[in-house]
Amino acid sequence: MPLPSAPAVLPAVPAIPPVTCPPAVPGGAPSALPDKAVAGAISFWKAAAVEGARYWSRLPARGFPPLTVLNDCARWVQLTTDRRPPRWSSPHSVVFATPIARLRDFSDGATDDVVPTLLLPPQAGHDSCIVDYSPEQSQVRTARAAGLTRLYSHDWVGATAESKDATVDDYIAVIDRALDHLGGRANLVGDCQGGWLATIYTALRPERVHTLTIAGAPIDYHAGQPPIGAWVTRLGGNDLAFYRGLVSQAGGVLPGRHMLNGFIMLKPESELEKNLQLLSHLDDDEHVARYRQFEDWFKHVQDIPGAFYLWIIEHLFRDNKLIKGELEIGGQQVDLSRITCPINLLAGATDHITPPEQVFAAAGHVSTPVEDITKATTSGGHLGLFMGNEALREFWPDIFINVAGRSRAEHQSLWKARAATAPHEPLVPAP
């Protein structure tokens, strides 16, 4: 039976700044900061000239210029400062809610004989609805169209006084609870932070994961000369006092506003260019609507549990323990070689937040057969991996169709047969 087709053409998002999921103070390699500043200034002034010329050239046709300019200024200020809570775009129900996460069910009553799929969005100070950004730009809808009809997603909850001390163990536990609800085993699909969390979970519970898919997820945090890693070293080296201070000053959480400011600092010229483009397109209702939708998601921030944030900085970003095989959670070593299930790895060629080398490093440390590992690279950057036109139209359909094909009854029996032999048990020599 042929699988349903993927969604049709997805509209492009207006110029927006790159977004990083890793919870660290971002920037560029320290030695490159002057060059970045010069390049950013040049980019900004070019955009100012282009958008300024566009605005003034279109002004005479829009009525009495002085009054129009005043009205435009007032509307521009309102659009750039008034933020609304972002929303999920697909019908669903909430299965359960905990202090750190909700489980959302997008199955719409489906009872197909297919392994359930659980999406793990980034947990980086923004709403998890990035995986269901709009009806036209949605991993949720693309997955369902590819045949993954029994579909669920975690929705990470902003930290409060109740959850500020949540640890990585709590995040593992909430995935356990979700998989219990799904029947004990599922396909995991993780974006950025959700990707490394999915990878860690699979290494800890290999019997519960049917397939693993990660996009823009750092596995080797020191590969590819990452700018965030350089800043972790620059702001403290082996001493995490700077990061502990951020959490302490906020009462035990990492404020979402700090994350947002860090994101903007990565390429401040992009933030300025985006708002200049808005000014020159105030008479374009479609552009304004796209701007508002993205800004509502990007700037409606949520806090991160302080204990979880500091654990990530120390064990992953600074010490790179995941790829070294030195990471322990709940007294258990996180051994990537315990992963034997099929794996899909998706990276962005221009992703300067999580370079492709960080994602593809997973392939060299798992025990999955080579023929069951797929690697793909989009031409875009970090955020585009999760909700961009190219990724959702040209890459995610193939990935999800592959996962759906492996999730039907005939493929499940093959998975069970392979899983019958534990990879680390001493094998009896064949006669």
> Are residue 63 and residue 108 in the same domain, yes or no?
no
pLDDT value at 188 more than 80: yes
- Whether residues 106 and 170 fall in one domain: yes
21 within some domain: no
The lowest-confidence range among 151-165, 166-180, 408-422 is 408-422
Structural domain contains residue 340: yes
pLDDT digits (tens, 9 = 90+) for 378-394: 999 999 999 999 999 99
Residue 15 pLDDT level (bands cut at 50, 70, 90): very low
Is 315 contained in some domain?
yes
Residues 283 and 399 in one domain: no
Mean pLDDT of 164-178: 98
Q: Which two tokens stand for residue 429?
A: 């020599």
pLDDT, tens only, 96-119: 999 999 999 999 999 899 999 999
Q: What percent of the chain has pLDDT over 70?
A: 79
Average pLDDT over residues 325-353: 96
Average pLDDT over residues 345-366: 95
> Both 201 and 332 in a single domain?
yes
pLDDT value at position 418? 56
Can you give the pLDDT at residue 430?
A: 38
Together in a domain, 42 and 148: no
The answer to whether residue 424 sits within a structural domain is no
Q: What pLDDT score was predicted for residue 305? A: 97
Average pLDDT over residues 176-193: 97
Q: Say if 429 falls within a structural domain.
A: no
Q: How far apart are CA 354 and CA 333, in angstroms?
A: 24
CATH number at residue 175: 3.40.50.1820
| Domain C-terminal end among 282, 300, 318 | 300
Both 121 and 207 in one domain: the answer is: yes
Residue 263 domain-assigned (yes or no): no
pTM, 2 dp? 0.81
User: Looking at the structure, do residues 414 and 341 belong to the same domain, yes or no?
Assistant: yes
pLDDT of residue 143 exceeding 90, the answer is yes
In the prediction, which pLDDT does 232 show? 57
- Quote the pLDDT of residue 18: 32
Give the model's pLDDT for residue 47.
65
Q: What pLDDT score does 65 carry?
A: 73
Residue 283, in any domain of the structure: yes
- Does residue 285 share a domain with residue 341? no
Q: How confident is the model at residue 237, as a pLDDT? A: 56
Q: What is the pLDDT of residue 168?
A: 98
The answer to whether residue 41 sits within a structural domain is yes
Looking at the structure, tell me whether residues 55 and 195 fall in a common domain: no
Query: If pLDDT is split at 50, 70 and 90, which confidence band does 217 have?
Result: very high
pLDDT in tens, 71-85: 888 988 999 888 899
pLDDT tens for each residue of 200-215: 999 999 999 999 999 9
Flag whether pLDDT at 248 surpasses 60. yes
- Supply the mean pLDDT for the chain: 84
Domain with 196, as residue range(s), is 93-231+305-418
Shared domain for 56 and 101, answered yes or no, is no
Judgement on whether residues 62 and 99 belong to the same structural domain of the protein:
no
Of 30-44, 61-75, 173-187, 284-298, the poorest mean pLDDT is in 30-44
| pLDDT of 424 | 47
Instruction: Please tell me the predicted confidence (pLDDT) of residue 49.
Output: 73
pLDDT tier for residue 5 given thresholds of 50, 70 and 90 = very low
Average of per-residue pLDDT across 306-325: 95
Q: How far apart are CA 211 and CA 395, in angstroms?
A: 17
Q: Report the pLDDT value the prediction gives residue 12, as an integer from 0 to 100.
A: 36
Indicate if 126 and 218 belong to the same structural domain.
yes
Average pLDDT over residues 170-189: 98
Mean pLDDT over residues 19-39, rounded? 44
Number of domains in the chain: 2
Share of the chain above pLDDT 90, in %: 60
| Sign of the four-CA dihedral 383, 384, 385, 386 | positive
Confidence of residue 140 (pLDDT cuts 50, 70, 90): very high
pLDDT at residue 151 in the model: 98
